[in-house]
Structure 1
Amino acid sequence: MKKIIYLFTLILAVGTFQSCEDYLDINDPLNDPIESQVTPDLILAGAMTGSFPSQSNNMNRLGNVMMNNWAGNINAFTGGFNEEYQLIITSTFYNFIWDGIYLNVANFQAMIDADFENYENHKAIAKIMKSYYMQYVVDLYGDAPYTEAFQGGDNPTPTYDDDMEIYRALITEVDEALALIDNNTDLTNPVGSEDVVYNGNMTNWVTFANTLKLRILMRQSTLAETDGETASYLATQFQALQDASFITTTAAINPGYANDTGRQNPFYATYGFNVDGSQTTSNRFIVASLYAEQYLDGTLTGILDPRINELYTPVDGEVQGVQQGVDSNDPSVPDEISPLGEGLLVDASQDGVLFSAAESFFLQSEAVFRGYIAGDAKGLFQDGIRSSFDQLGIGAQAEAYITNSDGVDEIGWDGSANKIEAIMTQKWIATNGINAIESFIDMNRTNFPEVPLAINAQRDKKPTRLLYPSSESIANAANKPAQETDDAFNTYIFWDSTQN
């Protein structure tokens, strides 16, 4: 758990100007004595920028493959996605998710611990972002270092905390952040352009924090159906959210992305195009899955979803997908398979989607439907669809789709006997290519949406968790819980009531 802090190459001096582009420049790790002299405003942008690829690239990739959005282009590559398709889960499987999150959350903790006055709003943002990313650690791994984490050389082998207790601590952390914002009347050091999400708008951060709390609480909603203590806890926590504002406009991160080396949006740089316009390896490799193609083109639902042509690039006027796990010699494989679409790959300077408005609306819809907050569940559900269309640049086509799909099971509100299934299915579509790990986590907590395994899967179900990475076996073996390969399929995160 090495504590590392990313800083800008150009440090602000009195009377000097720093452009947003400088926030993309990072230095080598600094040691603790230097760290103690660095104020929170000089850490914030680098911490935000450094953390985001764990979501946009690594978790997003895992979610898209597990939820059958993406497949490998078997016309051009062999052996791609073998572990994902066959469900070979080991301590090296996507281990960079754990390593990347802990590496970068240490920067937010350094801001929280910094011994400087009048940086309350900076520390509030750090608390929110720490909670944002640590939730994913729990969602994917369960028990994890938290209370003793991020202490660097003072404690290189932190103990593991119970996953439910971490969740409760995350809510406390967010509440502490809200209190810091609410009580901060001294603006000697206000947050400014170093905030590469909201540019120092603390009202927006309150809304973000409320929506993060909503996400954390809703993760536990299925558990609350069978666990009285959790039900009581949620009822108490939701009282504070009855009049809260939630995200209605996507929370986007952009520290100055540009079509220059080292400055491209990280999703675009990985899954799109190089600075010279040539395809990246991942752009040539990742294509539409047959299941996603057939779900969106109406083959499986009877309703054409216009988002299909933004999520994937049509071939001769139609999106062509390939079945996950199929052999390249199979006659069903198209001669040309659709790569990712322009709705996802706009340009190198595009904003990164940190927390989408669509996800926020679907969370609110579910919370209303389950009786946790007041509101119009159907209206919020449809606002989620509208926001998804807006995100892909085709907002004008949303109303026709909503009207046409409303009576259809799984995708329309009125036509779906199971409203939770409808919410999760539309969230699956809305997070496709954007933050698909959310849909994978939703599947584990609700059993929806139901998407098929790859045809060469060696298991009969998707994993319920990831295994602790090999880095923990090396650096923290005494505290890491013992695991076997089967644990990825038969042990559960605390909120996963689907095991019952």
Structure 2
Amino acid sequence: MLKKIAYITLFALSLTSCSDALDDINKNPNATETPLAPYLLTGTLKQGADLYWGSANNFDSSLLFVQHWAKIQYTEPDRYDVSNASFTTLWNTGYATLITDLNTILNFPEAQANSNYKGIALTLRSWTFLLLTDAYGSIPYKEAGLKVTPAYNTQKEVYTGLLEDLKRAQSLLNTANGTVTGDLSYKGDISKWKKLVNSLRLRIALRISDKEPALAKQAAIEASTDAAGVLSSNSDTFKFTYISSPQQNPASAWFETRDDYRISKTMVDKLKALSDPRLPVYAQLPSDAIVGTYVGGGNGLSNSAANSQGFAKTSKPGTYFLTSTSPAVLVSYSEVLFNLSEAAARGYIAGDAEQLYKSAITASFNQFGITDAATIAAYLNQPTVQYDATNYAKSIGTQKWIAFFGQGLDAFTEWRRLDYPVLTAGPDTVLERKIPSRFFYPGTEQSLNGASYQAAVSVQGKDLLTTKLWFDVK
């Protein structure tokens, strides 16, 4: 009997031992048992910067659409000869990584994340949703992360919801509410996060201005008069600064092994016409020294026509954008000044629209290391640069397009909204000489969330690159 009990005990212990061994085998040695708010914040900032500045959403799509960059080989994206598979990265990373991790912070108890972490998380989640709706239109918003097959919200619903989310973020952020670590953008400076919140509120106010002017005016007033202020200098710019490989700027990593892109001829020609001192920042001289001047690549060319321009005879984007430590600028001081200028021009807020416009251009020059007062004054005094109060959209739209160089997603949105500068599709493009107005939804939405996808498309319009979004009224 005692022997039998001993066998049973030994068998039970062996089962327990096996179970423990299996548990150990199935553990990821590189993962934390409990996610920590600082690590999630660091990861979100890095992955968000990669998403914004990386190839799929920036230099292989939106930078081509707004003719900041051009393809010199493998020109299909520059001719808009793409499928919905080309636009999955923003959607998948936005939802599965950024929003998921930020929701984790928001759902932490106070002991794991103080209200400043939650205010930052809500700000970053709002920024992510803003990128998604600007690119696709209607998106899962209210049910995102709550249901396997979330319903889509219209773009109007998303924008108005984000204005409320950012109000809540502002209320959560307070220097008395505890310290924040893991913040690689603002180093835990809560006052700068509060400025960013108001700057995003102002950005959204202008997104809705042509469709909901009363709400836009209210939002612009609230954002610009809030005690926390908006971004007030280049030192407030929201950016992620990269380090050396393998954590370098995505464009730098790309050009280490490939040579697919040139600065667009459209941009080079505009900068030359304006004698713009940002040209040597935005572009490199061709490697063929005989050329001796900056030469942009044509957009929307066939592979053979693009190749024939000459790899050595055309200008790559400037080294400022292609070094390992080049920052990923996400919201610039210059953009905020342009937005204040437009809000004043629309009569939403008090202020001198012309002076704010000049200050915005100056801030852009300073951002790229151009600080000589005489150089800036000479540029601003050109008739082709001077502010036109009778057509503020042309003045602001053109200069904002230049200042946004490299920030493809936001340049693409603002170009669609303001309709300046006037761009022409390249000769070999496939959309009947139209430039895209949005991104395709990923194909997985049709197969995995088909009912919600179909309901959204029935309201918004066909899932085509040329379908105009709600904010894009012209």
Q: TM-score range by the shorter chain?
A: 0.7 to 0.9
Name 1:18's counterpart in structure 2: none
Alignment of 1:358-397 (within 5 A): 358-396=334-372
| 1:197 CA displacement | 0.9
Structure 1 residue aligned with 2:102: 108
> What is the letter of the counterpart of residue 333 of structure 2?
A
**2:237 maps to amino acid:** A
Q: Give the superposition deviation at 1:149.
A: 0.9
Aligned amino acid, residue 208 of structure 1 = L
Separation in structure 2 between the aligned mates of residue 29 and residue 372 of structure 1, nearest angstrom: 49
Contact in 1 for aligned 2:58/2:409 (Cα 8 Å): yes
Secondary structure at the residue paired with 1:480? helix
Give the drift of 1:89. 5.0
Matched residue SS, 2:330: strand
1:170 aligns to what? 162
Correspondence for 1:314: 285
Superposed, 1:154-233 pairs within 5 Å as 155-182=147-174, 185-187=176-178, 190-192=179-181, 194-223=182-211, 230-233=212-215
- From the superposition, tell whether residues 332 and 376 of structure 1 become closer, same or farther in structure 2 (CA, over 3 Å): farther
1:40, distance to aligned residue in structure 2 (A): 2.2
- Check conservation: 1:106, 1:150, Cα contact below 8 A: yes
Match of 1:46 in 2: 43
**Bigger mean CA deviation after superposition, 321-330 or 359-368:** 321-330
On the 8 A contact 2:63/2:69 being kept in 1, the answer is yes
Q: 2:245 matched to 1:251?
A: no
Question: Structure 1 residue 479 and structure 2 residue 452: aligned?
Answer: yes
Q: Distance in 2 between matches of 1:27 and 1:344?
A: 36
Cα shift at 1:405: 4.6
Deviations 1:343-371 (A, max 9, x none): 323x3123321211111111111111111
Q: Aligned equivalents of 2:428 and 2:99: distance in 1?
A: 37
Aligned to 1:14: none
Give the 3 Å change call, closer, same or farther, for CA 236–259 of structure 1 in structure 2: closer
Q: 2:464 maps to which residue? A: 488
| 1:463 corresponds to | 436
Distance across 2 between alignment mates of 1:447 and 1:28: 48
Deviation (angstroms), 1:46:
1.0
**Gapped regions of structure 1 (runs ≥ 5):** 1-25, 224-229, 273-278
User: Residue 8 of structure 1 corresponds to which residue in structure 2?
Assistant: none
Q: Distance in 1 between matches of 2:153 and 2:280?
A: 44
Deviations along 1:270-324, one digit per CA (max 9) or x if unpaired, are: 3x4xxxxxx331xx211122222211112xxxx3111111111013331112222
Equivalent position SS for 1:200:
coil
1:452 aligned counterpart, secondary structure? coil
Residue type at the aligned position of 1:115: P
Of 409, 414, 437, the match for 1:437: 409
Secondary structure (helix, strand or coil) at the match of 1:240 reads helix
| CA deviations over 1:89-136 (Å, ceiling 9, x no partner) | 532232212112112221111111122346100000000000011011
Aligned to 1:341: 318
**Corresponding residue SS for 1:92:** helix
By how many angstroms is 1:486 displaced?
5.8
Check 1:98–1:84 CA distance in 2 against 1; reply closer, same or farther (3 A cut): farther
Query: Are 1:421 and 1:449, in contact at CA under 8 Å, matched by a contact in 2?
Result: yes
How many residue pairs get aligned? The number is 429
Tell whether the 8 Å contact from 1:217 to 1:234 is kept in structure 2 after alignment. Answer: yes
Displacement of 1:489: 4.9
Relative distance call for 1:423 and 1:163 in structure 2 (3 A) is same
Check if 1:126 corresponds to 2:101: no
Cα separation, partners in 2 of 1:119 and 1:142, compared to 1, 3 Å: same
For 2:218 and 2:403, locate their aligned partners in 1 and report how far apart those are by CA, in whole Å.
30
Pick aligned residue for 1:413 from 375, 387, 390: 387
**Contact conserved, 2:114 with 2:177, CA < 8 A, in 1?**
no
1:319–1:417 distance in 2 versus 1, CA, 3 Å: farther
1:84 pairs with 2:71: no
Alignment-derived partner of residue 17 in structure 1: none
Shift in Å at residue 473 of structure 1? 2.3
| Matches of 1:266 and 1:366, distance apart in 2 | 32
* SS at 2:319 equivalent: coil
Measure how far apart 1:332 and its partner are.
8.0
Larger proportion of helix = 2
> For structure 1, which segment, 209-218 or 237-246, has the greater mean C-alpha deviation from structure 2 after superposition?
237-246
- Counterparts in 2 of 1:489 and 1:296: CA distance versus 1, 3 Å: same
Q: Which residue of structure 2 lines up, in the alignment, with residue 65 of structure 1? A: 64
1:12 aligned partner: none
What SS is found at the alignment partner of 1:71? Answer: strand
SS of 1:457's partner is coil
CA contact (8 A) 1:402 1:412 kept: no
Identity of aligned residues (%): 25
> Larger Cα Rg: Structure 1 or Structure 2?
2
CA-atom RMSD in angstroms: 2.6
- Using the alignment, how far apart are the partners of 1:72 and 1:394 within structure 2? 28
Query: Which residue number in structure 2 is paired with residue 5 of structure 1?
Result: none
Bigger mean CA deviation after superposition, 98-107 or 480-489: 480-489
Partner Cα separation in structure 2 for residue 349 and residue 161 of structure 1: 38
Between 173-182 and 382-391, report the one with greater CA deviation: 382-391
